[in-house]
Chains A and B, each alone.
Chain A
């Protein structure tokens, strides 16, 4: 399979801060790829370098085979980027803005029907003649997505597209993006909602402190740490046997959560220990590790900062 984005030896420092310490990986054409990492990991710097907004100190990046520095025009025509911030030009209407954006990429009137189609699919048709100022945050987010797609790029980068949007809009955005991917577009996603990445991405890279920690398919990543979680709600007054206490990783709604390593800690062994200690169980649940667990294992941090203290 051919390469959509190739990143080789990319380094970037801001003064004394090293943002990227030599990143090497590539994204294949047609992939739905997740780029994850805690805040300050270097994701935004890497995306800015791919998009041409930031200069790299060393290394090389190409999009669909075009070098982003030496062949920047061709490279940028292959790429659509949805920025993280809700930025807009207050002088123009939604439709004008999209037509201007298409023009920058060398598309003339032939792009207008596609613009109207996107407005329709993103539920923006009624607002096509409205000033960007008059739109809600969710609508501005949808316009940003349309702007990234006006020139029908084969590669699309979505930088935290669902940050701060409601559940309904998030679902609409993912349906739209999934449809794009189905049609052959390479989609690169950064998000703090790891359940989204787990559900949508075929392959995931995790960056931390400017270095690539891991790059694997999502199933490989989930199988990387062979453990599962067991939640036990014990009868009132019962105390967990001493032998099980090293496995405790937390307490959720009054239930104790144990982390069991496959092969080493069979579930049956836990029940035997409880029975031998004469402890009654009120409720029991098992949970397979999700991406959040893997993420914490690899980076020592939660994906969403507000959860770190929870």
Chain B
């Protein structure tokens, strides 16, 4: 193995160890939150139809909740790691190391993907006794999951680079990530929305992540799967281009 590969793997392992050492916060907590959402909404809206043939509302709800957790946790993993290192000052160890922008990008992204995979698997495992989900389009499911988790990991990396304190990350989470993930059809089919909100939903990239993920389970969704995949891929490419440019130029990282 070359020294560059060892460096990359070390950063990846370090990032995995970082979230692993606080597993209660990073995996267990989002699983509990999702289960609570599922219990409350499934109970409150049990008489409501899902708008999909042969799919109960509880079944409809679960993929959206899982994807919402993926979105929020992928973002939180990278953004909190970078901003914490900046505030503690230990980012210098990484900045002085012989690691290039692509190693940073890849290691942070893969660690976040591993965390959200654990979160998603744990959610599906915990809810399995109550909700059974078919998997009609596994490749679409996997592609949407990977593209969505990666995109939000990269957005988190961008936010971490730009942020100078935790407040900046909290603002980004509260005013961008949470509203867009809640207004993306997690709890409802966008067909049930008034025209204006229906159209607005189609400009929200998180809508395509949730809708495409749901397609993977049910083989049906609000938007065509090709469109959802295109949005997810486009969002990933765009966010990656911005992030890599920041890492290559040292934006906000080098004085």
Which chain A residues have a beta carbon within 8 Å of chain B's beta carbons? 14, 48, 51-55, 72-77, 79, 81, 83, 85, 87-92, 96, 100-101, 103-108, 147
Contacts and interface: CB of A to CB of B under 8 A. Distances in A.
Interface string B1-44: 11110110111011001100110000000000000000000000
Given A89-B88, A91-B21, A52 B95 contact: yes
B93 interface: yes
B98 to A, nearest CB: 4
A87 B11 contact: no
Contacts of A107: 3, 6
B255 A48 contact: yes
Given A55-B250, A73-B98, A77-B98, A105 B3 contact: yes
Contacts of B2: 106
Contacts, number: 87
A51 B88 contact: no
Nearest to B103: A104
B96 A76 contact: yes
Contacts of A89: 85, 88, 90, 93
Interface in B81-108: 85, 88-90, 92-100
B95 to A, nearest CB: 6
Interface residues of B, number: 31
A53 B99 CA distance: 13
Interface in B216-255: 250, 254-255
B255 A104 contact: no
B87 to A, nearest CB: 10
A106 B6 contact: yes
B95 A104 contact: no
Contact of B255 (A53, A76, A96, A105): A53
Given A55-B254, A77-B3, 5 more contacts: A54-B254, A87-B89, A104-B93, A105-B98, A106-B6
A103 B18 contact: no
A50 B17 CA distance: 30
A78 to B, nearest CB: 10
**Chief secondary structure at chain B's binding surface:** helix
A55 B93 CA distance: 17
Nearest to B97: A104
B97 A105 contact: yes
Contacts of A51: 96
B89 A104 contact: no
16 contacts: A52-B254, A53-B95, A53-B254, A89-B88, A89-B90, A89-B93, A90-B88, A92-B17, A100-B14, A103-B6, A103-B9, A103-B14, A104-B11, A105-B98, A106-B6, A106-B7
A85 B89 CA distance: 8
B45 to A, nearest CB: 41
A269 to B, nearest CB: 55
Contacts of A72: 98, 100
B23 to A, nearest CB: 12
A53 B96 contact: yes
A170 B215 CA distance: 65
A43 B157 CA distance: 31
B17 A105 contact: no
B88 A73 contact: no
A199 B21 CA distance: 45
A103 B10 contact: yes
A18 to B, nearest CB: 14
A147 B98 contact: no
Nearest to B250: A55
Contacts of B11: 103-104
Contacts of A103: 6-7, 9-11, 13-14
A147 B93 contact: yes
Contacts of A92: 14, 17
A53 B254 CA distance: 5
Contacts of B4: 73, 106
Contacts of B10: 100, 103-104
B237 to A, nearest CB: 27
A220 B11 CA distance: 46
A54 B21 CA distance: 32
Most B CB atoms within 10 A — which of A53, A73, A85, A91? A91
Given A53-B92, A85-B89, A89-B85, A104 B254 contact: no
B250 A104 contact: no
A50 to B, nearest CB: 10
Contacts of A52: 95-96, 254
A79 B97 CA distance: 9
A90 B81 CA distance: 12
A31 B97 CA distance: 23
Contacts of B1: 108
Contacts of A104: 7, 10-11, 93-94, 97-99
